[in-house]
């Protein structure tokens, strides 16, 4: 199976490249294929003739998107439209990676794939626009929504480990609930799905619910940092530009009924991730 990856230098992209090493795979970053350039995107993808395109490239700066909506729409909506058009041209299956931020976080329980989207942030709106555009163009489409992603790159776990070495006290938001998910587990889901023809929308998050505050405490507990004090704060006190969903854990309902729910409790996965980091 020939696989083309967009966003190969990102967190998820790097994990996909690592897993697909030694297979027939083309890894593209923005230098090789800027997805906002339609001509180039169609050229690169159709020349390679992949069986599957895993589209993980995105404008992921949630607060930055509030100040630069045009850039965010260009990459997440138009860029996705370009990738989808190329997939249609060469008959490739497409995986579009999306986010829990397409929900408003007011439902009061974990969101399944059939719950109403209602993004509140520009980032969430642009990612939903990408979903809609891809659906209009490609039939052989997997939309895979994930949340609070961490792997090799800039992420909350890395930031906590770094700040934990520099500060004695950290104020962390304790009123946003979600589920941390590792790129390793997400990659496993994507690679299983592309073997199938179970096209559609999937939620793929680790099992369980936490807040950023409890997530931070767990990171320090597992990594043996007993010096830093984690202090609870509210979203309002933090005052970030982009609104975030208050409660957006994802229910992996469709995964459960197709390939089986292969996700594991988030604490277990975090422990493994920190173990690997310790041995690096």
Interface positions with ligand NAP (CB under 6 A): 6-7, 9-13, 29-31, 34-36, 56-60, 75, 79, 97, 99, 127, 146-149, 153
Q: Are 97 and 153 in contact, with CB atoms under 8 Å apart?
A: no
6 vs 120, which CB is nearer to ligand NAP? 6
CB 226 to ligand NAP: min, Å:
27
Number of DSSP helices (H) and strands (E) in the chain, helices first: 12, 12
99 vs 120, which CB is nearer to ligand NAP? 99
CB 19 to ligand NAP: min, Å:
14
143 vs 170, which CB is nearer to ligand NAP? 143
CB 197 to ligand NAP: min, Å:
23
CB 72 to ligand NAP: min, Å:
10
Query: Which alpha helices (H) appear in the chain, and where do they start and end?
Result: 11-19, 38-48, 62-67, 69-73, 79-90, 122-137, 156-166, 183-193, 212-222, 235-238, 253-257, 266-278
User: Distance between CA atoms of 222 and 252, rounded to whole angstroms?
Assistant: 26
Backbone angles phi, psi at 238, to 5 degrees: -70, -40
CB 88 to ligand NAP: min, Å:
19
Return the closest-CA partner of residue 150 out of 28, 22, 271. Answer: 271
Which residue, judged by CB position, is nearest to ligand NAP in the bound state? 10
77 vs 230, which CB is nearer to ligand NAP? 77
**What is the C-alpha radius of gyration for the chain, rounded to an integer number of angstroms?**
18
User: Distance between CA atoms of 103 and 125, rounded to whole angstroms?
Assistant: 9
3 state DSSP class of 181: strand
For residue 170, the cross-strand partners are 230
For residue 97, the cross-strand partners are 144
Q: Are 274 and 215 in contact, with CB atoms under 8 Å apart?
A: no
Please count the other Cβ atoms lying within 10 Å of the Cβ belonging to residue 22: 6
13 vs 224, which CB is nearer to ligand NAP? 13
User: Distance between CA atoms of 237 and 233, rounded to whole angstroms?
Assistant: 6
151 vs 164, which CB is nearer to ligand NAP? 151
> Annotated active-site positions, please?
123
CB 9 to ligand NAP: min, Å:
4
């Amino acid at each position: 199976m020939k696989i083309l990856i967009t966003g190969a230098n990102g967190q998820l992209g790097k994990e996909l490249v690592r897993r697909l090493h030694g297979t027939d795979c083309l890894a593209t970053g923005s230098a090789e294929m800027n997805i906002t350039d339609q001509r180039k995107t169609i050229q690169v993808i159709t020349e390679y003739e992949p069986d599957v395109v895993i589209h993980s490239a995105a404008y992921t700066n949630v607060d930055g998107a509030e100040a630069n909506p045009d850039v965010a729409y260009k990459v997440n909506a138009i860029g996705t439209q370009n990738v989808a058009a190329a997939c249609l041209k060469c008959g490739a299956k497409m995986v579009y990676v999306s986010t829990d931020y397409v929900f408003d976080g007011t439902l009061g329980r974990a969101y399944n794939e059939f719950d109403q989207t209602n993004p509140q942030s520009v980032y969430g709106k642009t990612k939903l626009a990408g979903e809609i555009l891809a659906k209009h163009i490609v039939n052989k489409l997997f939309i895979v929504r994930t949340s609070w992603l961490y792997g090799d790159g800039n992420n909350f776990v890395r930031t906590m480990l770094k700040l934990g070495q520099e500060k004695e006290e950290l104020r962390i938001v304790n009123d946003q609930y979600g589920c941390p998910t590792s790129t390793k587990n997400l990659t496993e889901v994507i690679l299983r799905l592309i073997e199938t023809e179970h096209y559609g929308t999937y939620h793929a998050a680790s099992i369980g619910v936490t807040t950023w505050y409890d997530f931070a405490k767990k990171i320090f507990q597992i990594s043996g940092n007993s010096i830093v004090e984690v202090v609870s704060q509210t979203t309002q006190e933090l005052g970030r530009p982009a609104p975030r969903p208050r409660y957006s854990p994802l229910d992996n309902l469709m995964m459960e009924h197709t390939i089986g729910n292969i996700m594991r409790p988030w604490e277990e996965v975090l422990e493994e991730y920190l173990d690997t980091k310790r041995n690096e």
